[in-house]
Amino acid sequence: MRASRLLSILLMLQTRGRLTAESLAATFEVSVRTVYRDIEQLSAAGVPVYADRGPGGGFQLLDGFRTKLTGLTENEAETLFLSGLPGPATQLGVADQLLSAQLKLSAALPEKSRAGAQKIAQRFHLDPVDWFKSPDQARLLPALADAVWTETAIEVAYRRGTTVATRRLHPLGLVLKAGTWYVVAERSEERRTYRVSNIQTLTATGERFTRPKDFDLVRYWTESSRAFEVGLYREQAVLRASPRAVRRLERLGATVAEAARESASAPDDEGWVRITIPIESLDQAAIDLLLLGTEAEVLKPRDLRRRVAAAAIAMAKLNA
């Protein structure tokens, strides 16, 4: 554990520059005294790390010092070869750079780690696109990625429904979600999420913007996507459902499936349970619940029950 922390401290000092004992202690959840002991261990091992006292001080490596990739464990080296997704890399326009980086990493590894990493690459492939779907067309993605990287303001023509509007954005980050690319951007000091495939045109203005220091892409995406899911469901429906219907609810998303499991009553004599699930609207719920067929009965609300029945009767007449 300590050896791993020492290596992590060394890599952090190499990549981030000067760091205080307090910040290192908070990162590794140890005491400041432990951090000082770790720094002494690094110095004893020949690592040129020194400390600056006073305000603005901290630990820093001697200029020009760099560690080598041979510090990677075998498992860490193997895991790195799982991080390259060839499809998204091609969409971003960095497929060649990804291949070059993997080749350089492979060449820098010890023989044993190199063989393990290549074995991983040959046996595991990550495909971020769901079944029966194609990845979004994202022809503007390379230009958008460049604007994110260089912190350049952009003007886009963005399609929302049947309308197209011009937006001036400060792009902060890109997210790949189930085969669909999104860009998180600031507009008029408000952060929003835009679907990349809905961007019709993109023009880099050449104007640089200052990226907010408090912005964390992972935290923003996690919180905003969760808020979107919760806000999507405005009403509830009560069903009597068979075990097969409960399993089929997985198709409506994790939020619905989880609500069904948590609200399920004890099974009746036929093995059916009473469940309460969130729904977007009566119209959408009527469409969704037809997927359950004769494996579920709508109990509440009554208007939803009538809509499902009417839709089922209409389908029966059409296919009679």
The tens digit of pLDDT for each residue in 216-264 reads: 998 998 888 877 776 778 889 999 999 999 998 888 888 888 899 999 9
pLDDT for position 237: 93
Beta strands 273-279 and 180-187 are unpaired
Can you list the alpha helix ranges (DSSP code H) found in 17-94?
A: 21-28, 32-44, 74-80, 86-92
Residue 72: CB atoms within 10 A of its CB come to 19
How far apart, in Å, do the first and last CA atoms of the chain sit? 70
Length of the chain: 320
What's the CA angle centered on 76, arms 72 and 80, to 5 degrees? 110
**Which amino acid appears at position 48 of this protein?**
P
Q: Which helix (H) or strand (E) holds 220?
A: helix 217-232
Q: Round to whole Å and give the CA distance between 172 and 158.
A: 17
The contacts of residue 2 (CB under 8 Å, 6+ apart) are 38, 41
DSSP annotation of 83 reads S
Q: Identify the residue whose tokens are 């998180």.
A: 184
Q: Where are the beta strands (DSSP E) in the chain?
A: 49-52, 58-61, 152-160, 163-177, 180-187, 190-195, 199-208, 235-241, 273-279, 296-300
Are 311 and 290 in contact, with CB atoms under 8 Å apart? yes
Predicted confidence pLDDT, tens digits, the chain (320 residues): 566 778 788 878 877 788 888 888 888 888 888 988 888 888 888 888 888 776 667 888 887 776 655 555 556 655 555 555 666 666 666 555 555 556 555 655 566 666 666 666 666 666 666 666 666 667 788 889 889 989 999 999 999 888 999 999 999 998 888 778 899 999 988 999 999 889 999 999 999 999 998 899 989 988 888 777 767 788 899 999 999 999 988 888 888 888 999 999 999 999 999 999 998 888 889 988 988 889 999 999 999 999 999 988 988 888 87
**Which amino acid appears at position 285 of this protein?**
A
